[in-house]
A and B are shown apart, each in its own frame.
Chain A
Amino acid sequence: MFKRLTIRKNAYYDSVALMSLAQEVQKLPGITDALVGMATDLNKDSARAMGFGGPELEEAGPGDLIFALLGDDAKSLDEAEKMVTARLERKASAGKQDTRGDVTYSSLAEVPIEEGGIAAISVPGPYAAREAKAALRRGLHVFLFSDNVSLEDELAVKEMGRREGLLVMGPDCGTAVIGGLGLGFANKVRPGRIGIVAASGTGLQQVLAVIDRLGEGITHAIGTGGRDLRREIGGITTLMGLDILERDESTTVKMVISKPPHDDVRRRVIAALEEGRKPAVVCFMGEEGGSSGVGAGKVRFAGSLEEAAVMACSLAGEGGSREIYPQEQIEAMARQLAAGLAGRADGAGSRYLRGLYGGGTLCEETMTVLARAGIDVYSNVAWRPELFLEDPETSQAHTCIDMGDDYFTRGRPHPMLEPGLRVPRYLREARDPDVSILLFDVVLGYGCHPDPAGVMAEAVREAAEIARRERRTLVQIAVLVGTSGDPQGLARQEKVLRDAGATVLSSNQAAAKLVALLLKSECKQ
C-alpha cells in the first residue's frame, strides 16, 4: 500500500467541490481511498483513520487543504495528485454561467458591480472577515451569515464598515429584511412603517410574525449579529442602523431587539433613540418593560417579543395595543389541557416540561417567563450557573434546550434547516415517564425547511403513541413562528400540527405563559 499526504497552507475551497473531487479521485484506477478536504477536526480524524499522522497533519488548521491518498503504487498516486491539482486550478479560474443563468465567481474581485448593494457572505468563520473586507472595499454593505468569527475580526470589519459608511450585519446574522429583500432566514412581510434593528434572528422572526398578524408591516429589519451590543463592539451596527431608520422617511417607529447590552453601550443606544424624532420600542430580552424615564420619553421598553411587536404596531397605527392571546384565553387553554393531565391513568405527581427549541432567543424567552413565574428551568443556555446543564444530552427536571447552540450544530445543520435532527431527542423526552409537557418551535420563512411542521407532526404523533402505550397523557405545545406570506403556508403548517395533536400558538410568550400555568396546576394536584 502506497500513501501520500499533501497539505496546502491557506488554500480555501468550497466543501461541496472538494467532496465531489474526492469521489472522483476514489474512482481512479489504483486508488483505494482518498480524502480531499479542509483540515477540519473531522477531516483530520478521517485522515488519521486512513493511517496518516505526524506534526504536519496535527498542525494543519481549517484554513489548510488536506489531500490524503492511499493507492496500489506510486504512479497511481502521481496521476491522482496531478488530476486534483488540475481540478483545483480550474476551480480557481474565473466564473462561468450554469444552465439556470447563475454565474459563479471564485472571488468577489471578479464580480462586476455597477452600483452599491449588499454582499451576503456565508463561508466558514476563519475566512469570513477576509471576504467581508473585500466586499466593503467594493462599496457593498455586508450581510455576514458566517459564525465562528473572532471578536477581533468582527470589530475590525465593523470599524472598516463604519469608516466607509457601510453596514456590517453580523457575523452570525440569521435574518434581515432590507427594503423588501429577505436575507438569510427571512419571513415575507408587508411594507409598513416599523423599522427594526435586531441582534437576534429568531427573535426578529417572532416580532415580524406578530407584526404581520396584527396587519402592520416594516420598512427594514437590520440584523446586527448577537455580539454587537457587547462592550468590545460598542453597538457599531446597531447605532448605524438606528441612524438609517431615523433618516428613512418611510419609518415612523423604531425598534431594537437584543439581549441585555453592556451598560455603556445601553446608554449610547438609548441616547440615540431619545435624540431621534421618532418613537421607539426596545426589547432587551429578559428585562422587564416600562419607559426609559429619561429625555422626552420616546423610548418604551417591552418585556417580551410579542409585547414589543404589539407596542410598535400600536405606535405605528391609530388603535390601542392588541394582544394576540389575552390572559383569559391562555387561562382557558390551560384549564382545558390541565383537565386532560389530571385525568391521566398514571395518577398525579411531579411532572416536567421539556422544551426543544431551534430558536435560541425563543428558548431564552421561555426561561424568562417561567423564571418570573417562579419555575426553575435547566438549560444548555441557562444564565444561572446552578441551572446550567453539564451534559446537554441529558435533561433534568424542567429543561429547555437550545438545539441551535454550537454543541448541537457542530458538523450538522441548524434545526431550522433540518428540524428532523431534533426528533430523536424529542421522542427520547416523550419516553421519560416524568415528562408531561413537550414544547417546541416551528419557524417558517425563506431559507428554512420547506415543511418543518410536517416533520414535527410525525414526531408529535409518535410521541402521542408512546404516551398512549404507556397510558400517560402528554401535552404537546408548538410555537409556530411565521407570516401569512411565508412559502410554507402558515395556515397549512398550523393545521398539520393541530391534526397531529399539538396545541399551536403563534406567540412564544403566550406558549411559555401557558406552560407556566400548567406546571403551577400540576404542583397543586
Chain B
Amino acid sequence: MTISQRFAPPRLGITETKKPEVSRSMTGALGWGQAGGARRHLGAVQAGRRFCGLLSGSRRYRVHSVFARALNLWDGREFLTLLPVSRGCGETCATLALAPEESFLDFGLVPGLEVEARDGTRVRLGPEVVVDFGSALTWESRLSTMAPGQLSDANLLVLRRTLLDASTASPLRGAVDGSNPGLAALLDALRVSVLAADGTRLGAALASLVGFGPGLTPSGDDVVVGMSLARAVFRRAGGRPDAGGLWEAGVRGALARTHALGAFFVEEALAGRSHEFVEDALGCLLAGRPQETGLAARRLIGVGATSGFDIGVGLYLAAEWERRYAWCSSG
C-alpha cells in the first residue's frame, strides 16, 4: 500500500476547514499539566503589596463574591480584589489581562471556594482558573509620596462641575447641588462636629450615614471613604497621626453598621489607601492640572453603579472643608 493510499483525505472530503478535533484540550503539551489542568490561565498585570500574604500562602483566602468584572477574595479579615486591567489597581487589588467581554461569572467561581497558592507566583481560584502573578508589576501608590500643597480653586471647581454633570443616580447628588436639605444638614453635622470636637454629635451623624444607601458598598460608606482618604493624606502631610483623630475614632465606631466589604474599604481609607482611581482623583485634585483633574474625576465616577460618584462627593467635601476650615487637620 502506498503512502497516498493509506493517506485518507477523501474520507474526510475536501471542504472548508472544520473545527479541530483537538484544541484547548491539548493543554498538557503546553505546560498546563503543571498548572493542574486549569481551563484558563490568566495573567496578572499589576498587584498591590497586600497580595504577598496570598502568594506566600501565609494567609488563606476564599472567594467572597463574584461579579462580571470583579472578584473579591476574603481571609476573614482582609479583602483582595481582582479586576480587569482597565479597572485600575490598588494596594489590595490586582489587575488581570481579560478581554472586554470576558466575565468572572464564566469561570465557574462561586463564593466559598478555597483559593490555593502555589510556588509563590500562581494562585488557583477554583478548579478551572489559575492566575499567574509571575510577571505582575508591583502597584505603587501615587499618594504615598505626595505632599499636598495649596488646594487649587480651579481643581475644586472642575471636580464639582464633573460631579454635577454626571448622570449617576445616587442619593448623594443633593449633597453637591444643595437640592436635598436633609442630606445637606447631615453632612454639615459631620463638618461642624469635627471642627467643634463634638464626638457625640459626630457619632450620631455617622450612625445615620454608614451603611446607608444603595450599591455593593452603600453610598454612605463611599462618601465616608472619600472623606477619610482626604483626611489621611492631609494629616500625614501635616505630621498628624493617621489613626488618632476624633473623626477616625468616630468612623471606626460606626463600622458595625455596615457589612464586611464596606467596612474594609473604609478602614483602608482611614489608613490613607484606596483604589487607584480614587487615589488618582485625589492626587490630581491636590497637585494636578484642571484638565487632569477632570479626566481623573470622570474615571472615578465610572467606578461601580454609584460608588465612584459617592467617593468623589466625599473627596470634594473634605477638600472644600479643608480649604475653608482646615477640616482635615481638625479633630
Identify the A interface with B (CB < 8 A).
14-20, 23, 37-38, 40, 42-43, 45-46, 115-118, 120, 122-125, 128, 139, 141, 143, 145-148, 164-167, 172, 177-191, 219-220, 240, 243-244, 247-248, 250, 409-414, 417-425, 427-428, 446-447, 449-452, 454-455, 457-459, 461-462, 485, 487
Contact = CB atoms under 8 A, between A and B. Distances in A.
A411 B16 CA distance: 34
**Closest 7 CB pairs between A and B?**
A420-B97, A16-B37, A179-B9, A454-B99, A122-B26, A447-B23, A423-B97
Interface string B37-80: 10011111110000000000000000000000000000000000
Interface string B18-30: 1111111111111
28 contacts: A15-B28, A15-B32, A15-B34, A19-B127, A40-B34, A120-B21, A123-B28, A124-B29, A147-B30, A167-B7, A178-B9, A179-B8, A180-B13, A182-B17, A182-B19, A183-B22, A184-B26, A189-B16, A219-B9, A244-B3, A247-B2, A413-B30, A424-B44, A446-B23, A458-B84, A458-B99, A459-B97, A462-B85
B68 to A, nearest CB: 14
Contact of B98 (A38, A128, A186, A420): A420
Given A117-B11, A145-B26, A243-B3, A412 B41 contact: yes
A195 to B, nearest CB: 10
B16 A418 contact: no
Contact of B16 (A122, A188, A413): A188
A115 B36 CA distance: 35
Contact of B35 (A165, A177, A411): A411
Interface stretch (B132-140, B152-160, B188-196, B242-250): B132-140
A117 to B, nearest CB: 6
B31 interface: yes
A125 B257 CA distance: 58
Interface string B287-324: 00000000000000000000000000000000000000
B2 to A, nearest CB: 7
Given A424-B46, A459-B97, 12 more contacts: A15-B28, A45-B119, A116-B8, A120-B26, A124-B33, A141-B8, A145-B29, A147-B29, A164-B6, A220-B9, A240-B3, A409-B30
Contacts of A42: 34, 118-119
A203 B303 CA distance: 43
A220 B10 CA distance: 11
A417 B130 CA distance: 14
Interface string B177-207: 0000000000000000000000000000000
Contact of B17 (A172, A177, A452): A177
B132 A421 contact: yes
B12 A413 contact: no
Interface in B199-249: none
B20 A184 contact: yes
A223 B35 CA distance: 27
A458 B86 contact: yes
Nearest to B127: A20
Interface residues of B, number: 63
B96 interface: yes
Given A45-B119, A446-B23, A181 B100 contact: no
A244 B85 CA distance: 48
Contacts of A451: 99-102
Given A180-B17, A181-B21, A244-B3, A423 B29 contact: no
A37 B96 CA distance: 28
B28 A181 contact: no
A186 to B, nearest CB: 5
Nearest to A240: B3
A412 to B, nearest CB: 6
B4 interface: yes
Contacts of B5: 165
A146 B29 CA distance: 5
B26 A186 contact: no
Interface in B97-139: 97-102, 118-119, 122, 127, 132, 134-137
B287 to A, nearest CB: 14
A178 B11 contact: no
A185 B20 CA distance: 8
A19 B1 contact: no
Contact of A141 (B1, B7, B46, B99): B7
Given A42-B34, A46-B119, A145-B29, A457 B100 contact: yes
A164 B5 CA distance: 11
A122 B29 contact: yes
Contact of A447 (B26, B44, B84, B97): B26
Nearest to A117: B8
Contacts of A191: 14-16
